[in-house]
Amino acid sequence: MAPPIRTVAIYNTHEVHSIDFFGNEVTVTVTSDASVICEWISNVHTYDCAPLTYSHHPLVVGVGVQWTPFCYRSCDGDSSPGSYNSDDNSYSPPPPPRRYYVDSPADTLQLGVGNECLVIQLSHCDHVPDELRIFLLDPDTIFIGVRNSQDARKLAKSRHELQIGELLDLRNYAQDCRGRSMRRCSFEEIVDVCMRCPGVRLDPEISMSDWSAEDLSHEQIRQASLDTFPIADTVLTPMVPSPLNPQQIQQFLSSVLSQRGPNSVPYDESTKWLIRQHLLNLISSYPSLEPKTATFIHNDGRSVNLLQADGTIPMPYHGVTYNIPVIIWLLESYPRHPPCVYVNPTADMIIKRPHAHVTPSGLVSLPYLQNWVYPSSNLVDLVSDLGAAFATDPPLYSRRRPQPGPSPPPYETRPPPPPQAVDQRPFPPSPYGRVNHVHHQDDAAEVYKRNAINRMVEMVHGDLASMRRDREAEAESMLSLQGGLKRREEEISRGMKEMVEEKETLEQQLQIVSMNTDVLDSWVRENQGKTNIDVDVDKAFECVDALSKQMLECTASDLAIEDAVYALDKGFQDGVVPFDQYLRSVRLLSREQFFHRATGSKVRAAQMEAQVHAIAGRLHS
């Protein structure tokens, strides 16, 4: 069933329509006027600064783009006439011409915040204000839609060449009641499951209609608003389950404190029951705090999995209650030693400097923490003391959001609003941009909605952190691979150098062998055919020089002495040579053998030097 739509007012610069979306009244502004766009953006910033109950979060804007799908017929040759069959007297009509669709630019841009929706007719805008361009590129604003892969390209192709920040697809973050991802679900399924609003659908025929028309139909306006309102508002609620009840918190703490293994919390077994009781009492007294487990990194670089209480604590200030975001870490020595408390400012907050109890890094130091006494000190009294200390000197202040410049009055034909009573009482300066007045009957749906937006932001940041970790791991692996390749390059270079040196050594040895071969060949040629019947052994080898002759004599004497010593050993074993004579003979022979070997070593060195000089002379010649 399509939600009913009615026209509220028609002005010269814009139209205002109202849509009853299952009890939620959605105000839709259709315009092509720059001043109306500026005023709507200004009102959005005012809406974003409205009081918040539990947390501070970035502005979430639902985005939709509509365009007219232009097509043209093919002109391949002449159009062929139909054919006539004489057998059965039948006539075949000509085939239909082919249709080709072109990439059309965006005709309308829809923006939705809360129950307000703006439809900008880009095709009829003379120019778009700079406030719109700045708004679309605001890094602190989250833009989200459904199946919006072409939206940024369509806006860039429009006549105004609009640029928009990162567009998120709601399907990547929406979950059903069982916590299952709805990544592959359609818009209609998300609205049906998450909002319990069956029958809401986007009509394909309306999507294919003429969106460049100056006067959009009610069906087009309704479909354009449905493309943004559920995304920016109610559909975000089911993404986060309802707050944990006391039984679920007890089950969570029991599971964490009883866990064993590398991921268990490192608390003393004798104090785990007291830690559980402290956290249960804290959550009972301050429901805005939630127990969690997270990784805590010490100053020395150690990381450990610890319990924490994350959320906000109330701070009364000049009759108004503010919410201070804090994180209370239960360190390994808790509860015998105090916890570690940090003020956790959001992106639109800054820490007051200097502050008596909060360092620039957010670490809190209080007398209650310094005077911690086990087992009487507890978390409930700590949070109460924190609220009292912060009420005296607030630790956080909001950043000033840059507001767009003044623009001329946009609604010239709008009737003047009725006079209303205005409270002229002066208010004290607020230390925060968003104020939470004291009340005890908050709308649960609004609370869940804000928590859902925070959960979506956390999921987006989680995805970005995961992508960053993946890129860092990939870069680390590439650097490791590069280091391995450099080591292999050094090893290859070293191996090549050793091979070149070995090659040079082998070439030198080859030259020596070639020289010796030439000498032997010449000797064989000289002595070939000679017959010596009586050959004197001592004259069988002729030495070429004195060194060779001396070397021959030393070698012969060495070997002869070796044989003599062997014969003496044999004679001593057989009992032929007496022991004292054996010792004297061996001593004398060994002394003589030593001198022959020493002389041979010197002669060998002299021969090698002479050969080197001979080779060098050949190379130079």
Q: Distance between CA 170 and CA 165 in Å, rounded?
A: 15
Say how far apart CA 357 and CA 191 lie, in whole Å.
Answer: 47
At residue 588, the pLDDT reads: 93
Closest to 208 measured CA to CA, from 64, 67, 408: 67
pLDDT band at residue 229 under the 50/70/90 scheme:
low
- Token pair 């399509």 is found at 2
Q: Does residue 450 have a pLDDT over 80? A: no
Q: How confident is the model at residue 77 (pLDDT cuts 50, 70, 90)?
A: very low
pLDDT at position 1 is 61
Sign of the Cα pseudo-torsion (586, 591, 594, 595, in order): negative
| Res 74 pLDDT > 50 | no
Q: Is 618 helix (H, G, I), strand (E, B) or coil?
A: helix
CA-nearest of 285, 302, 304, 283 to 293 is 304
Among the listed ranges 37-41, 50-54, 267-271, which one has the minimum average pLDDT value? Answer: 50-54
Pick 177 or 170 by higher pLDDT.
Answer: 170
Residue 562: what pLDDT? 93
B/e letters for 428-467, b = 16+ CB within 10 Å, e = fewer, are eeebbbbbbeeeeeeeeeebbbbbbbbbbbebbeeeeeee
Averaged over 159-165, what is the pLDDT? Answer: 87
Query: What's the mean pLDDT when you consider all of the chain?
Result: 79
> Which pLDDT does position 209 carry in this prediction?
87
Q: How confident is the model at residue 176 (pLDDT cuts 50, 70, 90)?
A: low
Helix, coil or strand: residue 518 = helix
Q: What is the pLDDT of residue 461?
A: 85
Q: pLDDT above 70 covers what percent of the chain?
A: 77
For the ranges 68-77, 110-119, 154-163, the lowest mean pLDDT is seen at: 68-77
Q: Express each pLDDT in 49-62 by its tens digit.
A: 443 333 445 678 88
Dihedral angle, C-alpha 364, 370, 372, 373, nearest 10 °: 180
Res. 433 pLDDT band, cuts 50 70 90: very low
The pLDDT value given to residue 382: 93
Q: Decide if pLDDT at 169 tops 90.
A: no
> 166 vs 241, which has greater pLDDT?
166
The 10s digit of each residue's pLDDT in 564-621 is 999 999 999 988 889 999 999 999 999 999 999 999 999 999 989 888 888 888 887 6
pLDDT for the residue numbered 406: 46
Strand ranges inside 153-237, DSSP E? 167-169
Is the pLDDT score of 155 beyond 50? yes
Q: Predicted confidence band at 512 (pLDDT cuts at 50, 70, 90)? A: very high
Report how far apart the first and last C-alpha atoms of the chain are (Å, whole number).
109
Q: How far apart are CA 604 and CA 558, in angstroms?
A: 14
Secondary structure of residue 107 in the 3-state scheme: coil
Q: Which pair of tokens denotes residue 496? A: 């090549």
Q: Which residue has the higher pLDDT, 266 or 166?
A: 266
3-state secondary structure of 157: helix
| Joined tokens for residue 218 | 């009610």
CA distance 218 to 214: 13
Q: Which residue is listed with tokens 């670490």? A: 363
pLDDT tens column, 184-220: 777 777 777 766 666 677 788 888 888 888 889 988 8
Q: Which residue has the higher pLDDT, 8 or 184?
A: 8
Of the listed ranges 157-166, 230-239, 245-254, the one predicted with least confidence: 230-239
**What is the C-alpha R_g of the chain?**
48
Copy the structure tokens of residue 123. Answer: 């095709």
Q: Can you give the pLDDT at residue 96?
A: 55
Q: Percentage helix, strand, coil, to 5, in the chain?
A: 45, 20, 40
Is the previous residue joined to 238 through a cis bond, with omega within 30 degrees of 0?
Answer: no
Higher pLDDT, 150 or 39: 39
- Percent pLDDT > 90 in the chain is 25
Mean pLDDT of 251-255: 84
* Res 438: pLDDT: 36
In sequence order, which residues have a C-beta less than 8 Å from that of residue 537 and are 6 or more positions away?
Answer: none
- Burial of residue 547 (CB within 10 Å: 0-12, 13-18, 19+) is middle
Tokens at residue 330, please? 């239960």
For the segment 297-338, what is each residue's pLDDT rounded down to a tens digit?
Answer: 888 888 888 999 998 998 888 777 888 899 999 999 999 999
Stretch 148-164: mean pLDDT: 85
